[in-house]
């Protein structure tokens, strides 16, 4: 049973009459201490009613102000302080919430709702022991409600008072019998006490009540596997397979057991049985498959072994959008990008999903499929016109085609739709806009967009790197560019692209030895993935250091790596630097 806040009924005073309340009347009430008691009561009743109305309309600041005015005039009414406590709690102002609920309790200490509210506040502040004592007292004054026993046990467990937690759970068992939620909570307490066998006994009691439910055998097997007792886990699964042969949960539990002991062959075999078991719902199959995908990204062998399982599942459910979606993810992990795009498209034909649209468009973007990116982003826009992402992808497609006006228009639409308070997201969009302006050789607009991006998110490492590199290419504001580049490296140390930028700025400033150090480091960290630009830059640096042969060597490497430099052939053939 998880901790939760109970929803309490709203206490509304009985009103003789309801009057419209205005700011002028608020002032009048505040100044009416000389009025008769009946007149004050009528005015404050109206004030309370207006406070409740404000709360219902989710105007919490107004509700708080009105309840506070009421409480100042009628401090004997506990409900006003209770409402103020709840409003403060929802606004995460725990100090105020506690202050108000204590006032309510001081007026009416026997009100169970006030006590529950106080316990919730204490628990949220980490004072589980005091919260447990309050709920324990309620379990005595409200003996008909067994939920207090469970909540008290849960709080005692969180306070590490395990014996008290067990005692209250035992009381709950007397009232309600061996119900699963109580036994499960008791199992968790015993695990917290490191009493594994007692915890296992609780699960066995549940199994005794439901001997043909494979979930509980899996729970017991997991318990033993988690504490590294694989022999006992194996015994559980062997008994389960004899009792309920072919149960998918037992099969899945055994699959996980084999994975834990390193037997991947048996893991795949039992996983295949469990996922393709027709006795379980497709939602559970998807859950099992998702768990499998999470553990396999760095295991190419497991990815290949799992492919037949996923294909069979798609054959079982050819029109299940979620299974097709996961199939696409699986194909992406196996570098089957074309097939992944087809799977995502089929999923979208069954059921439109913004999440799947993003995956499909990211797939096209990663493969530089500009036409597919534009076409499908426009479909995405038609189905989700008020979302930012489709416009971003649309801009990406037009940027690939060097249609800068349309790309700029699309990014500006995305910016218009992005909530302004999400500064990080806004910063990313302005940085993208700056990249597009730069590609279109509109340097002044690019600089302004980068300035805007960094004013919104000063720690956008990519924007810091790109902006500083573009400035260095133009030979402008080099000291400022150096600071920005250094900041990007502080944020992401060892990023080869950022090291290259920093080295290139130093080169532009004439600090050739230091520049060489950074660009060589960028090449070393990149390994086989080193871009031709890195070798080209290093060649230029060696030329400046009057090491002409070394320069030619790196220019040749740059050409082999496919550097985008139209002068590379001249540099190699003539042994000269052309900038």
- Quick one: pLDDT at residue 16? 29
- Quick one: pLDDT at residue 101? 95
Per DSSP, the three-state class of 216 is helix
pTM: 0.65
| Residues in contact with 401: Cβ distance below 8 Å, sequence separation at least 6, in sequence order | 370, 371, 374
Average pLDDT, the chain: 88
- Quick one: pLDDT at residue 29? 38
Mean pLDDT by 10 residues, the chain (579 residues): 35 32 37 49 80 91 92 92 93 93 95 95 95 96 93 96 95 87 93 93 93 94 92 95 94 93 90 88 83 72 78 89 90 90 96 95 94 96 93 96 96 92 93 96 96 95 96 94 96 94 95 94 90 91 92 90 85 84
Determine the Cα–Cα distance for residues 79 and 576; give it in Å rounded to an integer.
Answer: 86
Determine the Cα–Cα distance for residues 66 and 49; give it in Å rounded to an integer.
Answer: 9
CA–CA distance from 319 to each of 307, 309, 313, 352, 364 (Å)?
19, 17, 11, 13, 23
Q: What is the pLDDT of residues 331-368, one digit of tens each?
A: 988 889 999 999 999 999 999 999 999 999 999 999 99
Determine the Cα–Cα distance for residues 363 and 384; give it in Å rounded to an integer.
Answer: 19
- Quick one: pLDDT at residue 298? 63
Determine the Cα–Cα distance for residues 165 and 185; give it in Å rounded to an integer.
Answer: 9
| In the chain, domain spans | 1-125
- Quick one: pLDDT at residue 38? 59
Determine the Cα–Cα distance for residues 444 and 209; give it in Å rounded to an integer.
Answer: 75
Q: What is the pLDDT of residues 426-480, one digit of tens each?
A: 999 999 999 999 999 999 999 999 999 999 999 999 999 999 999 999 999 999 9
Q: Are 43 and 78 in contact (CB under 8 A)?
A: no
DSSP annotation of 388: S
* Two structure tokens written together for 211: 């001997």
Fold (topology level) of 1-125: 1.25.40
- Quick one: pLDDT at residue 147? 93
Which H helix or E strand runs over 135? helix 128-141
- Quick one: pLDDT at residue 421? 85
Determine the Cα–Cα distance for residues 390 and 353; give it in Å rounded to an integer.
Answer: 12
DSSP assignment of 290-336 equals HHHHHH-TT-HHHHHHHHHHHHHHHHH-TT-HHHHHHHHHHHHHTT-
Length of the chain: 579
Determine the Cα–Cα distance for residues 173 and 155; give it in Å rounded to an integer.
Answer: 17
Determine the Cα–Cα distance for residues 218 and 250; give it in Å rounded to an integer.
Answer: 6
């Amino acid at each position: 049973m998880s901790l939760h806040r109970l929803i309490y009924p709203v206490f509304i005073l009985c009103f003789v009459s309801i009057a419209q309340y205005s700011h002028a009347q608020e002032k009048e009430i505040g100044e009416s201490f000389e009025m008769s008691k009946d007149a004050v009561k009528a005015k404050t009743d109206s004030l309370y009613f207006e406070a409740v109305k404000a709360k219902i309309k989710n105007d919490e600041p107004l509700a708080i102000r009105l309840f506070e005015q009421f409480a100042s005039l009628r401090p004997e009414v506990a409900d006003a302080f209770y409402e103020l406590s709840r409003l403060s709690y929802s606004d995460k102002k725990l100090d105020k919430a506690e202050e108000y609920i204590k006032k309510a309790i001081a007026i009416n200490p026997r009100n169970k709702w006030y006590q529950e509210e106080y316990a919730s506040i204490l628990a949220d502040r980490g004072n589980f022991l005091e919260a447990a004592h309050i709920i324990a007292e309620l379990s005595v004054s409200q003996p008909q409600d067994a939920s207090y026993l469970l909540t008290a046990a849960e709080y005692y467990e969180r306070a590490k008072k395990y014996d008290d937690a067990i005692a209250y759970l035992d009381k709950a068992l007397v009232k309600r019998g061996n119900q699963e939620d109580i036994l499960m909570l008791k199992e968790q307490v015993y695990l917290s006490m490191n009493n594994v066998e007692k915890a296992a006994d609780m699960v066995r009691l549940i199994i005794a009540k439901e001997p043909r439910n494979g979930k509980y055998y899996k729970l017991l097997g997991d318990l033993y596997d988690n504490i590294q007792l694989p022999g006992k886990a194996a015994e559980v699964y062997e008994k389960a397979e004899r009792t309920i042969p072919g149960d998918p949960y037992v099969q899945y539990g055994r699959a996980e057991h084999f994975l834990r002991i390193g037997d991947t062959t048996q893991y795949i075999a039992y996983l295949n049985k469990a996922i393709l078991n027709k006795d379980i719902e497709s939602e559970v199959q998807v859950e099992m498959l998702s768990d499998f995908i999470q553990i396999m990204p760095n295991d190419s062998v497991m990815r290949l072994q799992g492919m037949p399982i996923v294909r069979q599942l798609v054959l079982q459910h050819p029109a299940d959008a979620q299974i097709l979606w996961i199939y696409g993810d699986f194909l992406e992990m196996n570098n089957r990008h074309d097939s992944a795009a087809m799977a995502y498209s089929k999923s979208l034909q069954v059921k439109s999903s913004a999440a799947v649209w993003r995956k499909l468009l990211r797939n096209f973007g990663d493969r530089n499929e500009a036409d597919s990116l534009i076409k499908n982003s426009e479909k995405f826009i038609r189905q989700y016109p008020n979302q930012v992402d489709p416009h971003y992808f649309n801009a990406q497609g037009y940027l690939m085609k060097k249609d800068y006006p349309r790309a700029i228009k699309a990014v500006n639409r995305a910016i218009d739709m992005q909530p302004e308070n999400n500064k990080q997201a806004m910063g990313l969009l302005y940085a993208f806009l700056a990249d597009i302006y730069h590609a279109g050789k509109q340097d002044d607009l690019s600089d302004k967009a980068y300035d805007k991006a960094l004013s919104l998110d000063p720690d956008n490492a990519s924007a810091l790197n790109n902006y500083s590199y573009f400035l260095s290419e133009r030979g402008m504001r080099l000291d400022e560019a150096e600071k920005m580049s250094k900041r990007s490296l502080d944020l992401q140390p060892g990023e080869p692209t950022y090291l290259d930028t920093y080295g290139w700025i130093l080169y532009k400033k004439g600090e050739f030895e230091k520049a060489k150090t950074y660009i060589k480091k960028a090449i070393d960290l990149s390994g086989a993935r080193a871009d031709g630009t890195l070798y080209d830059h290093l060649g230029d640096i060696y030329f400046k250091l009057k090491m002409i042969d070394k320069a030619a060597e790196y220019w040749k490497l740059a050409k082999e790596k496919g550097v985008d430099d139209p002068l590379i052939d001249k540099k190699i053939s003539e042994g000269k630097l052309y900038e």
